[in-house]
């Protein structure tokens, strides 16, 4: 891990300092409400790294408190270096292999020299199961993306993770002063979006044309933000790759996780927890095996997120959502077969074992029909319940409410026989990093990749991802139909044949044997 940290430090590391002598490149400076920030230029792209989007960082007595608004500041500050990452599980996300700090609520801005007025803005929210990740991940260096699409601005934001961002505390004897602790990560994201809304015009961006965009937990976050009170005023569109509103838990599940953590640490109160350093908290949370998801608390998130969509809570937000063909095969590959078997056994004991007999029979029937290696049956059913069925359900509920939804199904495969078209495999495509082949195993077809990025940008610009023949990299028009509950059309992102199709022809979800699992959120 230290080797990776040093490489990240070499690439992006350092510490931003105030500039008090007036010696800086004024052409690379942007005046914001909370200070003037001076970026660095790479070719024709200026990058502003490590801009704080809060007035005070969540350290000391502000641990587990809601993010604090920025205040006016006439100072001038370097924006040369990425901030430290939020405390997170470093076992599976590069962003969490960097140095950790609770002083972590910062964002990065990528803009080109292109003089287009009021550029559309794409705000990236990273994934990592709500427990890991960070903006310093080289995958999320957006210089190649903005070089290809100089008429958009990209912002990448950090937020609190795991026990720092999603720990239920209100049930403890002194927990009344921490009413937001279970959903702080979502509130951090909202505060970052507020900063973008108030300051992005100074960078040349259009605050009224913001698309939030994320993958996995980041995609789930994007799908949740429309139903977080107060967030919709800051964006008008969202792109959610392999993440939906199912990735949540109940208050009871949150309290149970906290109680296990308290037992491991020997703590009784929040006051006790405040004395524990971040790394020890992180280690203890790993010991109790509780996953820190956002919480359906009835205040920051609705108690029924699906009903919120069905009832039109997000109908004014245009959404683009999708999933990968073999989502969970990524985890089989990442965990190793033994690690995967252990994970499956634990999930089945916790969740599957408690399904009603008739529902369990449906799932078992589905699994019996799965072909391939022994792990594939479990991989397929968890792919369905965690990612694939929720993608289709959010499309259904948004359409039912009269909102607009574009849905995709990503199918290119890695040459790795286990990975295939696994979770997150599309990231190298959408971020224009063909050199990152750890998951893909190869660079995908260049024209396909350019087309997919063009669709994402077109959606951010116009609210429709369709491309005319002149806009399409291969010179052929790509008409992407809206999802509707009758024809259920999706765009199949096949490496050599991007085309719309009815869900019934592609058979993305098993409507009888897996779709119902979405009511259990994460099986």
* Residues annotated catalytic, as ranges: 216, 327, 423
State how far the Cα of 58 lies from the Cα of 250, in Å rounded to an integer: 25
Facing residues of 119 across strands? Answer: 205
Give the span between the Cα atoms of 367 and 37, in whole angstroms. Answer: 55
The encoded tokens of residue 258 equal 């906290």
Question: In whole angstroms, what is the distance from residue 178 CA to residue 441 CA?
Answer: 45
| SS3 label, residue 206 | strand
Asked if 185 contacts 205 with a C-beta cutoff of 8 angstroms, the reply is: no
**Strands 318-324, 35-38: parallel, antiparallel or unpaired by DSSP?**
unpaired
- Give the whole-angstrom CA distance, residue 377 versus residue 356: 20
> Which residues, at least 6 apart from 109, have a Cβ–Cβ distance to it below 8 Å?
39, 47, 48, 51, 79, 153, 154, 155, 200, 203
Question: Exposed e or buried b for every residue in 335-368, given b needs 16+ CB within 10 A?
Answer: beeeebeebbeebbeeebeebeeeeeebbeebbe
* Rg (the chain; Cα; Å): 22
What does the H/E/C string look like for 143-175? HHHHHHCCCCEEEEECCCCHHHHCCCCCCCCCH
What CA–CA distances, in Å, run from 184 to 51, 65, 333? 19, 7, 31
Task: Give the closest residue to 224 by CA, choosing from 162, 289, 283, 304.
Answer: 304
Cα→Cα distances 361→121, 178, 348, 356, 507, Å: 47, 43, 14, 9, 20
């Amino acid at each position: 891990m230290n080797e990776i940290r040093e490489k990240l430090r070499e690439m992006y590391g350092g510490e931003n300092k105030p500039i008090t002598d007036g010696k800086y490149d004024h052409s690379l400076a942007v005046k914001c409400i909370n200070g003037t920030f001076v970026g660095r230029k790479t070719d024709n792209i200026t990058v502003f790294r490590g801009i704080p989007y809060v007035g005070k960082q969540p350290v000391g007595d502000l641990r587990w408190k809601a993010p604090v608004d920025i205040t006016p500041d006439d100072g001038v500050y370097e924006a040369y270096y990425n901030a430290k990452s939020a405390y997170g599980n470093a076992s599976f996300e590069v962003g969490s292999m960097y140095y950790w700090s609770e002083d972590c609520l910062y964002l990065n801005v990528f803009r080109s020299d292109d003089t287009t007025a009021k550029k559309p803005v794409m705000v990236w929210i990273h994934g990592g199961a709500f427990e890991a990740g960070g903006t310093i991940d080289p995958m999320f260096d957006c210089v190649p993306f903005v070089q290809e699409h100089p008429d958009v601005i990209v912002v990448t934001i950090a937020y609190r993770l795991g026990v720092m961002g999603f720990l239920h505390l209100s049930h403890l004897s002194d927990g009344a002063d921490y009413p937001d602790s279970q959903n702080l990560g979502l509130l951090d994201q909202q505060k970052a979006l507020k900063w973008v809304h108030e300051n992005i015009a100074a960078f040349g961006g259009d605050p009224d044309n913001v698309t939030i965009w994320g993958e996995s937990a980041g995609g789930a976050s994007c799908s949740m933000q429309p139903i977080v009170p107060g967030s919709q005023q800051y964006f008008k569109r969202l792109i959610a790759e392999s993440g939906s509103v199912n990735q949540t838990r109940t208050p009871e599940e949150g309290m149970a996780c906290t109680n296990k953590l308290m037992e491991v640490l020997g703590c009784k109160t929040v006051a006790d927890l405040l004395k524990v350093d971040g790394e020890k908290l992180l280690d203890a949370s790993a010991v109790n095996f509780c996953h820190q998801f956002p919480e359906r608390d009835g205040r920051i998130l609705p108690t029924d997120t699906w009903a919120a969509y069905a009832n039109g809570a997000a109908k004014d937000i245009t959404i683009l959502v999708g999933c990968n063909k073999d989502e969970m095969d990524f985890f089989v590959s990442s965990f190793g077969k033994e690690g995967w078997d252990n994970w499956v056994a634990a999930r089945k004991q916790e969740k599957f074992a408690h399904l009603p007999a008739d529902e369990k029979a449906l799932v078992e029937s589905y699994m019996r029909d799965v072909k391939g290696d022994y792990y594939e049956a479990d991989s397929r059913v968890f792919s369905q319940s965690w990612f694939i069925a929720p993608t289709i359900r959010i499309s259904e509920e948004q359409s039912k409410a009269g909102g607009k939804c574009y849905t995709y199904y990503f199918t290119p495969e890695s040459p790795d026989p286990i990975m295939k078209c696994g979770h997150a495999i599309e990231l190298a495509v959408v971020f224009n990093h063909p050199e990152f082949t750890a998951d893909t195993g190869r660079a995908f077809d260049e024209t396909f990749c350019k087309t997919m990025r063009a669709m994402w940008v077109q959606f951010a610009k116009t609210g429709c991802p369709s491309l005319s023949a002149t806009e399409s990299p291969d010179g052929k028009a790509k008409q992407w139909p809206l999802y509707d509950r009758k024809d259920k059309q999706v765009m199949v992102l096949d490496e050599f044949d991007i085309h719309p199709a009815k869900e019934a022809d592609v058979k993305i979800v098993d409507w009888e044997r897996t779709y119902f699992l979405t009511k259990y959120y994460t099986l």
